[in-house]
A and B are shown apart, each in its own frame.
Chain A
Amino acid sequence: MNNVITQNLLRLFLFVLVQSVVLQQVNLGGTTSNYISLFLYPLFLFLLPLKTSKITLVLIGFGVGMLIDASYNSPGVHAAACLVTAFLRPLILALLEPREGYNVSLGLNIKSYGIVWFLKYASTLLFIHLLVYFILEIFTHVYIAEIIQRTLASFFFSLFIIMVYMVIARPKV
C-alpha cells in the first residue's frame, strides 16, 4: 500500500519536474509560438490505482493541474483540463473494460492489459485532456481551426513520449 503511494508521489514529482523544466521549453512546429505542446503529466492521472475513489480522483486532478499551472503561469487552465480528465477516467475505464474485467491488484499499464488496451485508454483520455486544454488556452471560437490543429498535433507527439515512458520505465503500479 505504502509502496503504491510512494511510487505515485515519486512519479508526480518526476512528471511535474520534466513537464515544467524540459517540456515547457520545447518549441515545436513554429518559430514564435508553441504550436505543438508536449504533455507527459496527464499520464500521472492515467496511472493512478484503479481503486482510487471518484472524489479523490477529482481532488488529485485539481491539485496536479494547479501545480502545472504554477509553472506555466496560467492559473486554472491546466487544472480545468485535469479536472475533466480525472472526472471522465472512471467512465472511460468502464467503456474499455476487458472481457474478463479489471484486476484491482494490478496497475493500469501495458503489462496488465496489453498494449492495445493501453493505447486506447491513454489516447482517449489524452485527446480529451488536450482538447479541453486548447479550448481554454485559445479561448475563442474564432480560432476553432487552430484549436483542432494544435490538439491533433500535440496529441500525436504527446502520445509518443507517453508510450516511450511506458516502454522504458515499465511502471509496475
Chain B
Amino acid sequence: MRNLVLLFLRFGHFILFVLLELFCLYLIVNYNRKQRDIWGNTSNIFMGQVSEKWNDVKNYYYLQDEMDELAAENAKLKEKLINFGLTINTTEKDSVANNLGSQFELLTALVTNNSTHKPNNYIYINKGSADGVQPDMGVISSDGIVGIINKVRKNSSVANSLLHRRSYISAMIKRTGAFGPLRWIDTDPRFVNLNDIAKHNTVEVGDTIISSGYSTHFPPGILIGIVQETNLPEGSNFHNIKVLLNNDFGSLRYVQIIKNLKQAQQRELEKEVSDE
C-alpha cells in the first residue's frame, strides 16, 4: 500500500497527464465534426488493412489443414483408380462380372524423418497401428514407390526405403511385361538396378518401369521410373539395367500407405505352396 502511495506521488502527474490526454482525445474525436470524420475514415481504412493482414495470417495457418485434406483426397482418388484398374483388367481378361471389390485401401501420412545418403535408409511416418498400419504394407507417394513398412508403433511407423540394401520390390517393364526385383546397390539415391531380366527380352533406354503386382505390397501399375542405361554383360544371361527413379527421395513429404485387404489370404496361399 505504502509502495502504491509512493508510486503515485512519484508518477501521479504522469498518470493524470495520460488519463486527461486520453479524455481529451475522446472529446476531440467525438465532439469535433472534422476530427470525427477523419477519425472514422482513418480507423475504417486501418481496421480494413488489419483484418486483411489477419486474414492472410489465418489463411497461412490453415494451409497445413488444407494440404492434409488435399493429400487425403488424393489418396482416395488414387485408391479408386487402382481398384478400378484392377476391376477393368480382370473383367476384360476373364469376362466375368467379378466380385473383386476394393482390394487396396490408401492411407495418407506425413514423412517425419527421412534419409537418402546411408547404406540403409529408413522413412519415418506419422501414422501407426492406431490408424491400421501394419508391417509389410507398401508405401507410395504421388511420384512412385517409396518403400515397405518395417516396424509399427501406436502413432508412428518406420518404412524401409526403396534405398535400402534389403529392399526387393518386384518391378516390370511396362512395354514388354518382363519383370524382376529392384535393388539399390548404388550410393546414388536417384538410381536403382532392375535385375533378372532375361537375355531374350528387349530393353531400351527410356522404357517405363512400373510395379508388377506380383507381391502383396503394391498393386500393379504404379510408376517407378524409366530405364537410364542398359547393357548385356559378356557371358551373362541377364540384362544390367539402371533405372532413373521418378520419385525424388530427398523431398518426400506426403506418402500413402497401401493396405492390401487380401494380403493375409495371398500370404497363406504362398505359404501353402512353398510348404508342399
Is B21 within 8 A of A83, CB to CB?
Answer: yes
The bracket for how many chain B residues form the interface is 20 to 34
A40 at the interface (CB under 8 A from B): no
A140 at the interface (CB under 8 A from B): yes
Is B24 within 8 A of A79, CB to CB?
Answer: yes
CA distance A10 to B148 in the complex (A): 97
CA distance A139 to B38 in the complex (A): 7
CA distance A62 to B26 in the complex (A): 14
Is B20 within 8 A of A62, CB to CB?
Answer: yes
A87 in contact with B25 given A136-B35, A139-B39, A140-B38 (CB within 8 Å)? no
Is B16 within 8 A of A77, CB to CB?
Answer: no
Chain B residue numbers with a CB within 8 Å of A140 are: 38, 42
Is A87 within 8 A of B13, CB to CB?
Answer: yes
* Partner of B26 from A57, A76, A77 at Cβ < 8 Å: A76
A75 in contact with B32 given A87-B13, A139-B39 (CB within 8 Å)? yes
Chain A residue numbers with a CB within 8 Å of B39 are: 139
B24 to chain A, nearest CB (A): 4
B27 at the interface (CB under 8 A from A): yes
Is A58 within 8 A of B38, CB to CB?
Answer: no
A55 at the interface (CB under 8 A from B): yes
**Chain B interface, >50% SS class:** helix
**Residue among B17, B26, B27 with max Cβ neighbours from chain A (10 Å):** B17
Chain B residue numbers with a CB within 8 Å of A79 are: 20, 24, 27
Is A75 within 8 A of B28, CB to CB?
Answer: yes
Chain B residue numbers with a CB within 8 Å of A57 are: 13
CA distance A54 to B10 in the complex (A): 10
A92 at the interface (CB under 8 A from B): no
Is A75 within 8 A of B31, CB to CB?
Answer: yes
Interface residues, chain A, CB within 8 Å of chain B?
53-55, 57-59, 62, 65, 74-77, 79-80, 83-84, 86-87, 136, 139-140
Interface residues, chain B, CB within 8 Å of chain A?
12-14, 16-17, 20-21, 23-28, 31-32, 34-35, 38-39, 42
| A–B complex contacts, Cβ < 8 Å, 11 sampled | A62-B24, A65-B24, A74-B28, A75-B28, A76-B23, A76-B24, A77-B28, A79-B24, A80-B28, A136-B28, A139-B28
6 new A-B contacts, CB < 8 A, other than A58-B17, A140-B42, are A53-B13, A57-B13, A76-B24, A76-B25, A139-B35, A139-B39
Nearest 5 CB-CB pairings of A with B = A76-B27, A54-B13, A80-B24, A76-B28, A76-B24
